A and B are shown apart, each in its own frame.
Chain A
Amino acid sequence: MRDVAIIGVKNTKFGELWGRSLRDIVVEAGAGALEDADVGGREIDSLYVGNMSGGRFIDQEHIGALIADYSGLSKNLHVPATRVEAACASGGLALRQAIMAVASGYNDIVIAAGAEKMTDVGSEEASSALAAAADREWEGMTGATFPGLYAMIARLHMHRYGTTSEQLAEVAVKNHKNGSLNPIAQYKNRITVKDVLNSIMVADPLHIFDCSPITDGASAVVLAPADIAHKYTDTPIYIRATAQASDTIALHDRRDITTLDATVMAAKRAYSMAKLRPEDIDLAEVHDCFTIAEICAIEDLGFAEKGKGGIVTANGETAIGSRIPVNTSGGLKACGHPVGATGIKQAVEIVTQLRGEAGQRQVEGAEYGMTHNVGGSGATAVVHIFSRER
């Protein structure tokens, strides 16, 4: 197996991009990442695109071919393009496929992109498409929604560990503050705990400000074997671990409703592969589709003791400048959550941070960064670890 590096990155603006199409935004992200890496089309060996639900959001399947075509990689170059789907973990998984392609030696220069165009349908239709990431026959059929499933995780976490609505709100407050420092973020407004608690109830105990938004956006990274990465950039960022794990599709079948075993297992595999421990990680982009998801994530990844995620957050330990900065980009909550793009956007943020190019969001002296991307209510988890030094 070969070591792999990221040599170029690019996010589009995240938000309600009503004037733009999926192909527009992917081309912007892909071209931007290639420009960042100073790589030309002829050098590209393959392309992986994370996309959750093109069929439902824009009535378009065959996304891999579409993206390759509009990136100018099809007609003369015939670059192989593969769409990767794992609900909201599609982007993280596309990155993992790309890493494996380079690590195995099959490919040298590979693009991993992620994209979703969610605002071409109304919010009810979008919610229905998202609900397809759960068990449609045995959860969706009963009137379950995604906020509803995470609300049941939150309810039990509160019951068992004493986590409060205020502690959940602190996740959103922090992530909006971080998002206010991120030029691509969907929401740049700062909010308070009171704002969250006063916002409308979606699924008790989750308010609308506990939920990530409906977002359009695309992200791309360019990968190369570590041995030749310096040919393209002075600041390659190295992949130290890629890990993935599965769990039951339905929340009710989990061993423990408040623990995402797929995250625990993916993290265990990633730490082992990188020969690192949670305390070695300098910052993490975790899957905060709902505020409770970030609380569970920091526990399941080993940044907080089980049950203490709320307290750790309220104490400010996950803020920029503190013990373990989490979601410096603004997370899914404030940066936005174009489902297929999220896993790649997380990698773009970590690479930007490890290069020391994150501006006001910069985590000083960051050496090791982690991304954590979840599909559905936890049936898929993908964890990556990145480092500044090889």
Chain B
Amino acid sequence: MASVPRFWRGIGSRYNLEGTRCNECGEYFYPPRNFCVNCRRVGHIEPYKFKGTGEIISYTVIHTAAEGFEDQTPYILAIIELDEGPRLTSQVIGNPEKIHIGMRVRSVFRKLGEDGEGGMIYYGTKFVPENE
């Protein structure tokens, strides 16, 4: 599982779906980048809070879990394209039978996992179908 410093570092972005945007070319980045991949050194990066809506590009239902996620199986993992453009990997809460490519989703604040019994609990962003 994640270490405490690694989790702490991303807390703003994870809790608030906060990324960055390049003023030079207009591209949005999530997770945040401090270097624009298009403009590189001439880019101007500033913080941006995403609306949190988007659609599913692809997905899977995980039956053999990653370490620390054993009690969550089966869980839906998806690549989601936010309406502003960037894509991210996230869990989707919903019925695995009803999930599909192109499905509209919105972000919610949820527990992601924990560092064993009595360990640090991690919170962050998951997604649900938009009309739920």
Contact = CB atoms under 8 A, between A and B. Distances in A.
B101 interface: yes
A251 interface: yes
Contact of B66 (A131, A137, A153, A250): A131
Interface in A181-219: 200-206
B66 A203 contact: no
Given A143-B75, A152-B78, A203 B61 contact: yes
B34 interface: no
| Interface-central residue, B63, B113, B124, by most chain A CB under 10 Å | B63
| Interface-central residue, A124, A144, A153, by most chain B CB under 10 Å | A144
Given A152-B77, A155-B101, A253-B87, A141 B62 contact: no
Given A141-B2, A141-B112, A257-B57, A147 B88 contact: no
A77 interface: no
A54 interface: no
Given A141-B14, A143-B113, A145-B65, 16 more contacts: A125-B67, A127-B64, A127-B66, A128-B66, A128-B67, A137-B2, A140-B2, A140-B66, A141-B124, A142-B91, A143-B65, A143-B77, A144-B66, A148-B66, A204-B60, A204-B63
6 contacts: A141-B122, A143-B91, A152-B78, A156-B57, A156-B101, A252-B79
Contacts of B7: 141
Interface of A: 124-125, 127-128, 131, 136-145, 147-148, 151-153, 155-156, 159, 200-206, 250-253, 257
Contacts of B87: 252-253
Nearest to B76: A204
Given A136-B6, A138-B31, A204-B63, A143 B69 contact: yes
Nearest to A134: B89
Interface in B78-100: 78-80, 86-91, 96
B16 interface: no
B58 A159 contact: yes
Contacts of B58: 152-153, 155-156, 159, 257
B72 interface: yes
A337 B22 CA distance: 41
A142 B2 contact: no
Nearest to B87: A252
Nearest to A201: B63
Contacts, number: 111
Closest 4 CB pairs of A and B: A151-B60, A156-B58, A252-B87, A204-B61
Nearest to B70: A124
A200 B61 CA distance: 13
B35 interface: no
| Interface-central residue, A140, A148, A156, by most chain B CB under 10 Å | A148
A253 B86 CA distance: 8
A203 B89 contact: no
Contacts of A201: 61, 63
Contact of A155 (B9, B59, B63): B59
Contact of B89 (A128, A153, A252): A252
A252 B88 contact: yes
B90 A148 contact: no
A105 to B, nearest CB: 34
A250 B89 contact: yes
| Interface-central residue, A145, A201, A250, by most chain B CB under 10 Å | A145
Contacts of A131: 66-67
B67 A202 contact: no
B64 A203 contact: yes
